[in-house]
Amino acid sequence: MEYKPTIEDVAKLANVSIATVSRVINNQGGVRKATEERILNAINELGYIRSAVARSMKKKETNTIGIIVPDITNPFFPHVVAGIEQKAREKGYYTILSSTNESPIVEEEIVKIFIERGVDGVIITTANETGDHIRLLQEQGIPIVAVDRAIKKFEVDTVLVDNVNGSYQAVRHLILQGHERIAIICGPQNTTPGYERYLGYKKALEEYNIPLDPSLVYQGDFREGSGYKGALHLFYLENKPTAIFSSNNQMTFGCVKALMELEWKLVEEVAFIGFDDVEIATFIRPKLSVVSRPMTAIGEIAFQLVYDRIHFKENLPKREYLLTPELKIRESCSFYKKI
Amino acid sequence: MEYKPTIEDVAKLANVSIATVSRVINNQGGVRKATEERILNAINELGYIRSAVARSMKKKETNTIGIIVPDITNPFFPHVVAGIEQKAREKGYYTILSSTNESPIVEEEIVKIFIERGVDGVIITTANETGDHIRLLQEQGIPIVAVDRAIKKFEVDTVLVDNVNGSYQAVRHLILQGHERIAIICGPQNTTPGYERYLGYKKALEEYNIPLDPSLVYQGDFREGSGYKGALHLFYLENKPTAIFSSNNQMTFGCVKALMELEWKLVEEVAFIGFDDVEIATFIRPKLSVVSRPMTAIGEIAFQLVYDRIHFKENLPKREYLLTPELKIRESCSFYKKI
DNA sequence: AACAAAAATGTAAACGTTTAGATTTTTAAG
DNA sequence: CTTAAAAATCTAAACGTTTACATTTTTGTT
């Protein structure tokens, strides 16, 4: 079958007008039982499937929400996406997904395309927090929810994790274990998570009157390679750290890899806590302690936010969710014996 | 700005007909330089963005391809998706993604929705290999590419990995190391990968005249839990295996977890090879040997296949890609000393 | 300057729905 | 059996493009 039946074909076969057919496929009621049945039969017989694009054209809504993530390959995002998708499907929404590879240029392109396609809302972890491309969306009146990274210039709903608190908890824990030379492998300082996690680190040190030693602050870029290099750098310091805090999952990978190669022994020689739980954490010995985020919940909330905004556009104030991460103490940061 | 300018607004402002405007936004040529400029200016001034849905309505194509995966949270799929998406974007296509959670019912729903939405093609790792829902797609003339799992009843392009060969390689390697009691943790036997990987196992044993011991064949379901249980089961056998082959990544997780808890020592007491590379493989000691698949390439090829099919519908024969997996020998299956 | 051919532009229909408002049919009361 | 009200159904316009075909303008030749 190559010919696609339209609502008109159904109407003809059932001997009614297209308006009536429309009413039954949309469950609007006000159709005589017998008529409805006739129509339903016609639909079945023809194998009619209503065209969502024609529908969108008329209704000016696509029941689609766009998701923009920096890297679908980072295990954090599939979990978030799963949360979004689950809730979305329940409400009859579908998602169109794109990965920017952290490129603001790609991101801008994607935003344009999403607008062209008339997405009803956008959930974004932006590669460009200051971004003007967001204005485009605002101008079109398309609801936006920022996930994981805030958007500075514009008022949009956000669901973030309390990064400061998370890294603060981690570093404080290290301090309480007796560590004083605590290193951090930072994320890019022009991203919310990168900056805030550094802030939490600083805050903990200050609170316990430990001077911040700049040689223990390594600038990474959230990718595995920089975690690796960071660990190397710290290892070859004249005055090594006794503990390391890594600002995200991918850098944790690199870092742990380096530690192994250097035979820089976890716990005995260096304590470790990473931001974000990772699959490897419970597989290596000692098990890695981490700051863990409720990834699926983040996605679910994000969807709820766009959804609300789509349906009550008018008078919703800006809403910010700030989820508190949880410090999962395992084995990589046990008691530290001073020399 | 709440009012969305249309092609008509642009035409009016530029003092031309909408046909001419259409011509310039589609780069069809045949428009005087000066006119084009006038139109471009008008577009800019109004902030006009063409409606993809109106366009799709007329052209009967959406430049969208649907992706259906069983579980976006399984690290294999994000990599495949990344490959698809990359190639898709290059060609002006976008992807709408949905996860079935291995439920054939959900999958059928999704297929319906995808048809409604007029996707130009579908790339699917089906949760229901015998599925009739595929017929729906066929009837609409929507190109389908099956990834990772074949679709039995219908002729569709496929990109698979040579599972038989992969597990054969792995098991043969174990045999050549001197193992004779080799266990397998199977995937569901009603899925291509589950069945084929078992086949490869059998083939290797036969080839080396090792009788297949049914107590060494554990039926798993591709989820982590069953890997865990499988390892337990094998451990408590009167006559333990000396090597284990796990049929997929998630079961490998469970299996390794169990091994650690049981203190069933890798290499010394039991050799191990898993199907699919996993992040943890190179982090635990000994490093895990695995059968590895070119995940991103799978996605790229899959997209190429749908793309071709979309553009040369007529006379393309069914195409099957069978990628050969690679055995990555690391440390979990070194030489086995007989007792 | 006239003309034919080529280039540029315009007109109008079509894509498949939804929906406001008009019309017809049914129902129920007198 | 009438009739008014209620319920069911229909008509036709609109959504924003693309495109075949018609018309107008430009170009180049004589």
**Would the Cβ of A23 be found within 7 angstroms of any atom in strand C?**
yes
Closest nucleotide relative to residue B23's CA, C1' based? D18
pLDDT, residue B2, reads: 65
Distance from B190 to chain A by nearest Cα, in Å? 26
pLDDT, residue A279, reads: 84
Note down pLDDT in tens along chain B; length 339 residues. 468 899 999 999 999 999 999 999 999 988 999 999 999 999 999 999 999 999 999 999 999 999 999 999 899 999 999 999 999 999 999 999 999 998 999 999 999 999 999 999 999 999 887 778 888 898 899 999 999 998 888 889 999 999 999 999 999 999 999 999 999 999 999 888 999 999 999 999 999 999 999 999 999 999 999 999 999 999 999 999 999 999 999 999 999 999 999 999 998 899 999 999 988 888 888 999 999 999 999 999 999 999 999 998 767 899 999 999 999 999 998 754 544
Quickly tell me which residue has 């992969």 as its tokens.
B166
Instruction: Record the pTM.
Output: 0.92
**Would the Cβ of A25 be found within 7 angstroms of any atom in strand C?**
yes
Closest residue to C13 by CA to C1' distance?
Answer: B58
Share of chain A above pLDDT 70, in %: 97
Measured between beta carbons, which residues in chain B are less than 8 angstroms from residue A111?
none
**Would the Cβ of A12 be found within 7 angstroms of any atom in strand C?**
no
Q: Is B263 on the interface with A (CB under 8 A)?
A: no
Q: Is A139 on the interface with B (CB under 8 A)?
A: yes
**Residue type at position B25:** I
With an 8 Å Cβ cutoff, are B73 and A78 in contact? yes
CA of B32, C1' of D25: distance in angstroms = 11
pLDDT, residue A165, reads: 97
Q: For B74-129, list the strands marked E by DSSP.
A: 94-99, 121-124
Count Cβ atoms within 10 A of the Cβ of residue B307 and give its class: 0-12 exposed, 13-18 middle, 19 or more buried.
Answer: buried
**Would the Cβ of A58 be found within 7 angstroms of any atom in strand C?**
yes
| Contacts (Cβ under 8 Å, ≥6 apart) of A277 | A249, A290, A292, A293, A328
Measured between beta carbons, which residues in chain A are less than 8 angstroms from residue B116?
49-52
Q: How many CB atoms lie within 10 A of CB A56?
A: 23
Q: Which residue in chain A has the smallest CA separation from B112? A: A49
> In 3-state terms, what secondary structure has residue A207?
helix
**Residue type at position B39:** I
Reply yes or no on whether the pLDDT at A1 is more than 60.
no
What sign for the dihedral angle of Cα A91, A96, A102, A107?
Answer: negative
Reply yes or no on whether the pLDDT at A2 is more than 90.
no
Q: How far apart are CA B266 and CA B272, in angstroms?
A: 7
Reply yes or no on whether the pLDDT at A60 is more than 50.
yes
Mean pLDDT across A230-243: 96
With an 8 Å Cβ cutoff, are A139 and B51 in contact? no
Sheet arrangement for strand B320-323: A320-323, A157-161, A144-147, A121-124, A64-69, A94-99, B94-99, B64-69, B121-124, B144-147, B157-161, B320-323
Put simply, the chain A residues between 27 and 56 with a CB less than 8 A from any chain B CB are 47, 49-54, 56
pLDDT band, residue A283 (cuts 50/70/90): confident
